[in-house]
Structure 1
Amino acid sequence: MVAARELDRVTVRVAVDRYLDGVARAVAGHSLAATTASNYRRDLAEFVELAGPDTVLDDITGAQLDDIVLAYGARPDGRFRGNRDGGDGGSSVVPTPGATKTRGAGATRRFQSSVSRFFERATRERWVEANPVLDAEVRVKRPRTSDPARKAVPTPVAKALLDGTTATPPGAATKPGADRDLGPRDELIFRLLLETGIRVSELCGIDQADIEERIVGEGSGDDYETQTWLRVLGKGSKERWVPLSPGTVAMVEAYVAGSRPTPQPRTVKDPETGERVVTVDVEDAERALLLTWRGLRIRPRDVQLMVKRSCDALPPRLRRRVTPHGLRHTAATVLVHHGVPVNVIKDLLGHASIATTDVYLDTVAEELVAAVNRHPLTSGG
């Protein structure tokens, strides 16, 4: 009989560092999405701060975990505290005096989930005697939003965004030095979001190698039917392949050949030594399909800000608040209204259940108008 492993009374900082080493190996082995790993690193860095880096992990109780989760949720939401440094959606924030908006239930729930996964590993590794999450009483509910910005947009708005009339013109960037023409990239982003319905995190994770041509049908001799597909790494590192239309493939090729920035590392000053150090690996930018004007892989916050700028530039009659998630809803809604089976849309969006897909099928204004105009009792007069 194998003897039970002895308890390893490590500090919070040491345990988190060990856990994140495993996360990094999972990303390298393609068993964990890079965006998910980034969330873990960010959440656990704040957990270390709130719990105390030198606290013995096994001394943390369920009640203390509740306090940590509540303290996290009570902190100001950085997205509403000012402009982000550099215009790339970076983590540094210029504080705005008097900002009071705290984190929402969605962010707090994600933080609690990250901490829970960490303690699952800590229990297996015997860094704790018993999992304190089981004794915690705070349960953050999944947020149910009725925010219209996260719902499907009317067809004229979607078409205006696809037309590229609101794309960033040359030299019209919002930050100093952003003098590149981002219009082709922005048009491509809208095209991918509205054609495939991919999540914004999945969009940012696309590598150039994820787009490939495959044989889809039989032909005579060397004449085979082919289709270009996009590999998408979704939630839980689940891989799916979605087809791209010829127009989208041509747009990808034009962007890569003509307006994609040259990848380059980003550097910051080390607070201890004062020296400039590289913080972003240039190899990652070389792999990425979509880049910022700085030559870095684009991030979800970059896409959110771009969508907002484009919607703000729409004509007044079309202008409305839209998010990338709202464009995902739009993709699903448009397809179902044009007769595409829901089970096909489920696979396109990467849902495990059709019940989840049904949540994405919104009613938009033009459908309501058409329904009233076809009303069996009043449409005749």
Structure 2
Amino acid sequence: MDELIDDFLTYLRYERNYSDYTVDAYSKDLSQFEEYVKDRLEGVFSPGLIDSDIVRSWIVYLLDEKISPVSVNRKLSSLKSFFKFLMKQRIVSVNPLRLVTGPKTKKPLPYFVKEGEMDILLDGDGFDEDFEGIRNRLMLELFYDTGIRRSELIGIKNSDVDFDAMQLKVTGKRNKQRLIPFAEGLKNLMLAYTEVRNREVGIQCEWFFVRKNGTQLSTGIVYNIVKKMLSEIPTLAKCSPHVLRHSFATSMLNNGAELNAVKELLGHSSLASTSVYTHTTFEELKKVYHAHPRAKKEGGNYGN
């Protein structure tokens, strides 16, 4: 890999505190671009020789290879960040991506679980009464009640849970920490879980959520548990921990929460990321209006 790309990845990891997963994604995108440029420029990869025509031809190449517009735009985002870094270092004087636009994508609305369906799932008898059953129900409830990410859940330590103040400290993207309040119901579930965990697992561990042997949960285990439980909802097209994050945000906004408050709870760096949920709630609002008896009459225009 080119030395400049290596320097950029080091900058992302140690100065911007990007996760290993994100740095790896940047690395793959830039390696692919480097390989493409070398094919075009007879084995040479020199950022100063790269112009907008090369970038545009790469976009065409990727689309011809059946890479989705969403993935192409992500790769372009990696490339833009790389050239911004090079300009900052004064290695190049012109950013070849300044006039390049990516392929248009139609952003799908986030999948989410309706409140009634979530109540039936959480209050039903689909969970065993043993350690794993109590733990799995708590995980589902915690995802839905707080909107935290999967990586944030498995990263919770015992010291991050303040039962007196009823708040939870989580570490999000780029190691940013935030405090999330929780209600009495969730507090009782968490206390019940810790009692069973301490009694049955019996191994002192710094992590709040653990396996039977006392070790920290993996992202794969958490994903599979949530997927299995959400698959009980027949109307849900996608089953993952992130769907519960979407469900939390949608439920909060549907029940009158301010967009800025939801942004802070989710740990978003900008309102743009949170505003996608306003479209979801608006779609729900339209359905409510269309269900109104007046809307069903000829000439009714509720929600249009």
Question: 1:261 & 1:66 partners in 2: Cα distance?
Answer: 59
Residue in 2 that maps onto 1:308:
227
Q: What is the CA deviation profile of residues 102-146 of structure 1, one whole-angstrom value per residue up to 9, with x for unaligned ones?
A: 5433333222212211221122224445332225x3424464214
Q: Secondary structure at the match of 1:40?
A: helix
SS in 1 for 2:169: strand
Given the superposition, is the C-alpha separation of residues 287 and 33 from structure 1 closer, same or farther in structure 2, using an over 3 Å criterion?
Answer: farther
CA gap of 1:38–1:157, structure 2 versus 1, over 3 A, is same
Q: 1:246 to 1:257 in 2, by over 3 A?
A: farther
Give the aligned partner of residue 3 of structure 2. 14
1:368 aligns to 2:284 (yes or no) = no
2:301 aligns with none
1:196 to 143, 146, 150: 146
Q: Paired residues, what number?
A: 281
1:211 to 160, 166, 176: 160
Question: Which residue number in structure 2 is paired with residue 274 of structure 1?
Answer: none
Distance change >3 Å, CA 190–CA 13, structure 1 → 2: same
CA distance in structure 2 between the partners assigned to 1:248 and 1:370 by the alignment: 35
**Which structure's residues are more often helix, by fraction?**
2
From 56, 81, 84, the counterpart of 2:45: 56
2:4 aligned partner, one-letter code: A
CA pair 110-230 structure 1, distance change in 2 beyond 3 A: same
Matches of 1:182 and 1:304, distance apart in 2: 15
Cα deviation, residue 195, structure 1: 0.5
- Hey, what does 1:121 align to over in structure 2? 85
- Superposed displacement of residue 243, structure 1: 0.8
Cα drift, residue 341 of structure 1: 4.6
- TM-score, normalised to structure 2's length? 0.69
Residue 277 of structure 1 is matched in structure 2 by none
CA–CA distance in structure 1, aligned partners of residues 201 and 55 of structure 2? 45
Separation in 2, partners of 1:56, 1:168 = 58
* Superposed displacement of residue 158, structure 1: 1.0
User: Could you tell me whether the CA contact under 8 Å between 1:211 and 1:231 is conserved in 2?
Assistant: yes
State whether residues 113 and 247 of structure 2, in contact with CA within 8 Å, keep that contact through their aligned partners in structure 1: yes
Separation in structure 2 between the aligned mates of residue 357 and residue 13 of structure 1, nearest angstrom? 40
Aligned to 1:268: none
How far does residue 297 in structure 1 lie from its aligned partner after superposition? 5.6
**Equivalent residue of 2:2, what SS?**
helix
Cα separation, partners in 2 of 1:185 and 1:369, compared to 1, 3 Å: farther
Tell me the TM-score normalized by structure 1.
0.57
How far apart are residue 209 of structure 1 and its match? 6.0
Decide whether aligned partners of structure 1 residues 51 and 313 sit closer, same or farther in structure 2, where only a CA change above 3 A counts.
Answer: same
Cα gap change, 1:64/1:339 in structure 2, threshold over 3 Å: closer, same or farther?
A: closer
Q: Deviations over 1:266-316 (max 9, x none)?
A: xxxxxxxxxxxxxxxxxxxx87655689956633x66555433223344xx
Give 5+ residue unaligned stretches, structure 2: 298-304
State the alpha-carbon separation in 2 of the partners of residues 292 and 105 from structure 1: 39
Query: Which residue of structure 1 aligns with residue 249 of structure 2?
Result: 332
Q: CA RMSD in A?
A: 4.3
- Cα distance in 2 between the residues matched to 1:287 and 1:66: 50
Deviations, residues 220-270 of structure 1 (Å, cap 9, x unaligned): xxxxx6322233425x665432112344345446266468899xxxxxxxx
Task: Name the structure 2 match of 1:32.
Answer: 17
Aligned-pair distance for 1:25? 1.4
